[in-house]
Amino acid sequence: MLLQLLQLCFLKSSVSDTIGSNWRCIRRKTLMYRIDQRDAEVFGLPADICYVLSFERAARHLLDIRMEVATRGALSLDFVLPSWTPGSYKIRDFATNFTLEGVLDERGRPLDVEWRAKNRFRVFCEGAEKLYLKAVYFGNERSVRTTHVSRWYAFVMPSNCLPYVEGRQHEPHHVVVDFEPAQWQRITTSLSPVDHGFPPRLGAVTYDVLADSPIQVGSHSVHAFSVGNRLHEVAILANEPVDEEWVVRCTERVVRVVGAFWGGELPYDRYVFIFHFLPEAFGGLEHARSQVIAVDPSALRELAGAHRFLRLLCHEFFHAWNGKRIRPEGLGPFDYEREQYTPLLWLVEGVTSYYEILLPYWCGYLTQRELLLHLEAEVEKLAHVPGRFFLSVRDSSLLAWVKLYGQSPDGLNRFPSYYLKGALIAWLLDAWILAQT
């Protein structure tokens, strides 16, 4: 099966059963790199780094951020704001929207700050036991990869707006989400609760887990179901009525079918689906314990649009294995300041794009004829990309940072998408493997 090929090509990421196996563990220096956690291990877990998010200026698209850090006797601490979001391979310079308003010690005295680069600054904290940082982030780009704050809701992508302390990414981090219940009703995230208090205090065992855990705050609806003794939450934000029962039913079916494909055991304790049904929206982004999907709600009223939604849902959930827990070496641990090159994005995204076509059929949502038409359409699309003759999928994977997300006007003439070409290569590989076995 193609699954076996994936396992031969990729590295298993971070769980304890890698020890003594033939998988290679990835470490940041001597510290275990982690992309996952369990709610039970975070409840009651202390942290010396805490962010407090508040939304008093949400109507102006401003997210207020306070950060509390125990200095542990350091003379200075360096803070770094990521420049890109894992899963979206383009340097986006989030520091453009970030404003540092000041840093105080525990006695309220201002501490000196020195900017060292466009996205990093040093705080001189000699004699301070704690420092209190205050910043604001302007979030007014509505996408699955960016922070968006408004009077109606807030969608916070931590990798956009929450700086880390250099050298301390491996530590536990807390996030307090301070919102007014009279304005918004609930919060949905794959971050784990630290206690039962209000405002909610959430935790991550490392900064990597925090960066990979989007936060939805507002008056969205929430549904839940269990598969394999694992809790699944479905958050639905919609600007017009959608058939939420159908969405949840499809989501549960996808979880069952994709889980069975990967052997039946789901690799997480809890998983969160965040659906944004908003005008002219389309896109998705995978995370280890969640996914975010944006779709125009009007699309669900047509069969073709419903099929696109189902393919996107399958694609992002498939990534919970392929790309997150089974991944090329270049995709973790991350350097959040610079490009992370890998020649294997075609295996991460192309193989996933192939299975996003098969899985709705296996779920019972496509007829055999519709399945074949979807595959035929992919072949037809590639036939109209002259760039397929200029770059291999290996090179298009490496050049994703400048060729896919920032194409030139004649990009189709020069660049074959590793999503599209990789999917067709996966189809051919799968057919060959099936023929041989």
**How do residues 6-34 score in pLDDT, each as one tens digit?**
554 554 543 333 323 333 333 334 345 78
Could you give the number of structural domains in the chain?
1
**How do residues 382-419 score in pLDDT, each as one tens digit?**
999 988 988 999 999 999 999 998 888 887 888 899 99
| Residue 14: C-alpha distances to residues 27, 44, 326 (Å) | 9, 23, 9
Residue 267: DSSP 8-state: S
Q: What is the 3-state secondary structure (H, E, C) of 326-377?
A: EECCCCCCCCCCCCCCCCCHHHHHHHHHHHHHHHHHHCCCCCHHHHHHHHHH
Report the relative pairing of strands 11-12 and 326-327 from DSSP bridges: antiparallel
**What's the rounded Cα separation, in Å, for the pair 206 and 354?**
32
Report the relative pairing of strands 230-238 and 282-286 from DSSP bridges: unpaired
pLDDT for res 6: 54
For the chain, 437 residues long, the average pLDDT of each consecutive 10-residue run is: 54 37 34 83 98 98 99 98 97 98 98 98 97 99 97 98 98 97 95 97 98 98 98 98 98 99 96 98 97 97 96 99 93 94 97 98 97 96 90 94 87 88 96 93
Tokens at 6, concatenated: 């994936």
pLDDT for res 188: 98
In a domain, 148, yes or no: yes
Helix, strand, coil proportions of the chain in percent (round to 5)? 30, 30, 40
In a domain, 361, yes or no: no
**Bridge partner residues of 272 (DSSP):** 233, 290
Residue 437: DSSP 8-state: -
pTM, 2 dp: 0.92
In a domain, 67, yes or no: yes
In a domain, 123, yes or no: yes
In a domain, 163, yes or no: yes
In a domain, 94, yes or no: yes
CATH number at residue 90: 2.60.40.3650
Domain with 169, as residue range(s), is 39-218
Specify whether the backbone of 308 is left (phi greater than 0), alpha (psi in -120 to 50) or beta: alpha
Collapse the DSSP code of 184 into the 3-class scheme (helix H, G, I; strand E, B; otherwise coil) and give the result. Answer: coil
| Residue 283: C-alpha distances to residues 228, 295, 316, 379, 381 (Å) | 28, 7, 10, 22, 19
In a domain, 325, yes or no: no
- Residue in 31, 96, 98 with CA at minimum distance from that of residue 64: 98
pLDDT for res 33: 77
Q: What is the DSSP string of 203-250?
A: EESSHHHHHT--EEEES-EEEEEEETTEEEEEEEEESS---HHHHHHH
pLDDT for res 32: 55
Neighbour count for residue 414 (Cβ, 10 Å): 17
In a domain, 48, yes or no: yes
